[in-house]
Chains A and B, each alone.
Chain A
Amino acid sequence: MLKRLRENKSAQGTLLATPTMLWMIGLLIIPLLLTLVVSFGQRSPDGDVIYSFSLDNYIRLFGYSTDCDNGQASCFDPLYLQILWRSLTLAFNTTVLVILLAYPLAYFIARAHPLRRNTFLFMVLIPLWTNFVIRVYAWMMLLRTQGVINLGLGWLAGLFNIPFTPLEMLYTPGAVLVGMVYEFLPFMILPIYTSLEKIDNSLYEAAADLGANGLKTFARVTLPLSMPGVVAGTILVFIPVMGTFIVSDILGGRQVILVGNLIQRQFLDARDPTFGSAASLILMIMTLIVTYFYTRKFGFGEEIVVA
């Protein structure tokens, strides 16, 4: 039997792929199917799932409401569409800001003296050793009315005798954006750094040799060759930002509700797993669509493997 296996290449392949397949089925396919099944169910009055085939949850997500002000049986309520749109725009803005901040830093590290590069990379990684939630809380300490930033500004204003009312920074969309950018910056820096660092010095010299000054070299050589890193970083940042709820929970309070918060509340507070499952699947589909068009335009970042 062993001998026959040794000769059968395709059986060997199947056998080698089996552990991965089991993993994928157990940890990805089955949970996904469960979510799908639950999303078609209905919530019983005491918070259990009644299994059925109903599209109610999806209809509700896209604006159908039975809770209307003017006594009508049904009306259009854009609440959930607004949440989806807010999540999408926030993820987009975060990604753009992160790219703008990460690129120069990654460029600086990649062109630094080789002995110093590791120190800089180490500094980029240090915050990641602290718990995600604690890092967000740190921003709360900075941003709140009696926080470090307001105290500092107040002290400065006092020096020049300017009247100062503390700025309301916490629980605003801006605070959530700042938190998101901060949390996900390292995931953009590392892949961009990797692709910049791979560019051979002779390519810069070749560009100069052929008549390109610094700016043209950057536009025609450096930037295109580092695009795989930018793409990889975008995937690593955009997808988690779409789904995360901690940052908006802590820094946005009740003001900034994202899909992540919606899903979390359906499962924990509202005890409606059917609606939560539907929202989860819609989030996944949205993310997939955006990622699909993005990677079709820019290709998959090869650096995603490295990062």
Chain B
Amino acid sequence: MANEFAVELQDVVKKFITPEGNELNAVDHVSMQIKNGEFFSMLGSSGCGKTTSLRMIAGFEWPTEGEVYIEGKAMGRTPPFQRKVNTVFQSYALFQHLTVFQNIAFGLEMEGAQKDEIEKRVKHVLEMVQLTGMERRKPKQLSGGQQQRIAVARALVKVPDVLLLDEPLGALDLKLRKDMQLELKALQQQLGITFVYVTHDQEEAMTMSDRIAVMSKGKVQQLGAPVEIYERPANKFVADFIGDSNFFEGRIKSLSKEEAVVFIPDLNAEVTGIPVSQGLVNGEEITVSIRPEKVLISEKPMNQNTFSGKVTNTVYIGTDTHVYVDLMGKRVKVFEQNRISRLDPGSFYTVGQDVTLVMMPENVLVLKKE
């Protein structure tokens, strides 16, 4: 019977000894459940524990504490070659002395598959990654993108329960990377295989994933769908790491069942009507955040939740114009989409111009202090 979870990490710790001789928890009490058939990403900057977590699922590393389950079975110290998972390596790790065909056939030969069976399956998987006819080439004769597809094909030909991908697109240029993101996602949906994807690129994770685990310092900071992580970050780290945010230190002035009024000393102002979840108390010190694209610039003052400031800088980046506004000594980022084509610089905000910022309460988030 199929298990609900393809992979489960239960309170996993991985300790490393640093060159200085100190003990370091590269993975620090991580628990997560990866559902069958989902595209799951581990996202974080380098050293956050994402790759180590992936390597523990693959079996290249064993947890110091805790347990890794694959399809409900505790893995313990099962070696990689006895696990029904396959890996696409960051460096592709293709065998340079073998042809494309031999590279892909390698895993099938290890299973002891028959020759005609191998030929059939290699042909099929090459069609899947659109590289038919490349069988007799050596990996060195292929472009980076093609090598990447061979690495995917070599892992997929074994029809693993889980495909592990360790920053597989890191070496490709931007345009190719974006194409491959969509292709990988389509492949995953077509095959229904669980993908566990490690990346430091938040846009990549957002584009492809059903769910994302945002990691930092060996811990899972938040686990959820891309929209949850972006719109409802669990803490200041996630709000800061995913996308851009404006932060203000504040205090809860009054609290009703669904709404709060927050006083922000830096602005000497209140933000009213912020929707909040439970767990907050009156008078609590909190952090308020708002995404730059959710701050509106208004020509004339409005009544509530408006703040007067001066434009200090504008940066045109094509899709958007980034406007930096000084609010009582605090710099606020505002992203305005360039919805109209115009070449007249005068139509942008000019430095020194007085503006009014509107922060709609439903766009303002209240984050607990850590």
- Chain A residues within CB distance 8 Å of chain B: 200, 202-203, 205-213, 216, 220-221, 224-225
Contacts and interface: CB of A to CB of B under 8 A. Distances in A.
B97 A208 contact: no
Contacts of A221: 95
A210 B110 contact: yes
B110 A216 contact: yes
A220 B91 contact: no
B80 A205 contact: yes
Nearest to B104: A210
A211 B110 contact: yes
Given A210-B154, A211-B81, A225-B97, A205 B89 contact: yes
A216 B111 CA distance: 12
A199 to B, nearest CB: 10
Contact of B87 (A206, A213, A224): A206
Interface string B84-112: 01110111011111000000001100110
Contacts of B94: 206
A205 B158 contact: no
Contacts of B90: 202
Interface in B131-158: 154-155, 158
Nearest to A206: B93
Q: Which of A202, A205, A210, A224 has the most CB of B within 10 A?
A: A210
Contacts, number: 59
B72 interface: no
**A contact patch SS:** helix
A206 B95 CA distance: 9
Contacts of B155: 209-210
A209 B87 contact: yes
Interface in B16-74: 58-60
A202 B93 contact: yes
B76 interface: no
Contacts of A216: 110
B95 A208 contact: no
B79 interface: yes
A225 B139 CA distance: 14
Contacts of B93: 200, 202-203, 205-206
A203 B58 contact: no
27 contacts: A200-B91, A202-B89, A202-B90, A203-B93, A205-B58, A205-B60, A205-B87, A205-B89, A206-B89, A206-B93, A208-B59, A208-B60, A208-B81, A209-B60, A209-B80, A209-B85, A209-B86, A209-B87, A210-B86, A211-B111, A211-B158, A212-B81, A212-B106, A212-B110, A216-B110, A220-B106, A225-B96
A200 to B, nearest CB: 7
A200 B97 CA distance: 13
Cβ-closest 6 pairs across A and B: A211-B110, A210-B107, A206-B93, A202-B93, A208-B80, A211-B81
Nearest to B84: A211
A59 B95 CA distance: 52
Given A205-B58, A206-B93, A209-B155, 20 more contacts: A200-B93, A202-B93, A203-B93, A205-B89, A205-B93, A206-B94, A207-B106, A208-B59, A208-B80, A209-B58, A209-B80, A210-B106, A210-B110, A211-B107, A211-B110, A211-B158, A212-B110, A213-B81, A216-B110, A225-B96
Nearest to B105: A210
B90 to A, nearest CB: 8
A224 B91 contact: no
B45 to A, nearest CB: 21
A206 B150 CA distance: 13
A59 to B, nearest CB: 47
Nearest to A201: B93
A224 B79 CA distance: 23
A228 B18 CA distance: 35
Contacts of B106: 207, 210, 212, 220
Contact of B79 (A200, A203, A208): A208
Nearest to B151: A206
A202 B59 CA distance: 13
A247 B96 CA distance: 40
A152 B158 CA distance: 59
A213 B83 CA distance: 12
B101 to A, nearest CB: 14
A211 B87 CA distance: 11
Contacts of B89: 202, 205-206
Contacts of A206: 87, 89, 93-95
A210 to B, nearest CB: 4
Contacts of A203: 93, 95
A202 B96 contact: no
